[in-house]
Amino acid sequence: MLGRMAETPPGGADDRVTGLRPPRWSFPLFTPRLRVGVGMALALAVAAVAPLVLAPRPAAWLPLALVVGVALSNLVHEAAHAWAASRLGYEVAWVVLGGLSGVTAYVGRGDRPLERAAVALAGPAASAALVLVCAGLRAVAPGTALAMAAEVGAGLNALSLVANLVPVGGTDGARLVLGLAEHRRRRAAT
């Protein structure tokens, strides 16, 4: 989902950011490194109450299913950032699952623009993979509740993919473009 990655600042090969703290608007989920934002927690709480309020209606579980779908999509997206950062030798400080966005904080190692670009691309790549998985599920079970859920999942992840690749602000697309541009500038300077 739309989000940002807190990175290590440029510097020497053994940069360590001390005191990197997760946002105050989040709290731990299972471990101190996996956190949930207040927005996501509130959305889950409201969606969990919806079936009680809308009990006799057929769509009573729809809000909870949508929020859980967004949360799972967000988790896979941010986990991909964390996995890529970890594989490239960074220390993943924490991951926050927010309402419609997430944050992955990683620290360590020197400033390597191509690695930052790779970490930025990992989240959208995971969203693209989820679109394909959902499309496959829809094709396997046409006309079923699973197909309907897969269609919604594909739509949510396609929206996430496109929104994250727009190169503005703190999106993954902006981080990807910045990393590639910095790499190109450095190569031209040598």
The pTM for the full model equals: 0.85
158-176: pLDDT as tens digits: 999 999 999 999 899 999 9
How many Cα atoms occupy the beta-carbon half-sphere of 2 within 13 Å?
Answer: 11
What token pair was written down for 78?
Answer: 């941010």
Q: What is the pLDDT of residue 6?
A: 54
The low-confidence residues of the chain, meaning pLDDT below 70, are 1-19
pLDDT at residue 50, rounded to an integer:
83
Across the chain, mean pLDDT equals 87
* Contact predicate 114/183, CB 8 Å: yes
What's residue 18's pLDDT? 41
Interatomic CA distance for residues 119 and 160, integer angstroms: 16
Question: What is the model's pLDDT at position 57?
Answer: 77
Say what the pLDDT of residue 190 is.
Answer: 83
Let me know if 174 is exposed, middle or buried by CB neighbors in 10 A (0-12, 13-18, 19+). Answer: middle
Structure token digits, residue 27:
């709290």
Strands (E) across 88-127 are located at: 91-97, 101-107
Cα three-residue angle 172-139-134, rounded to 5 degrees: 25
So what's the pLDDT on residue 188?
93
**Cα(45)–Cα(39) distance, rounded to whole angstroms?**
10
Amino acid at 77: H
Specify the pLDDT at position 19. Answer: 54
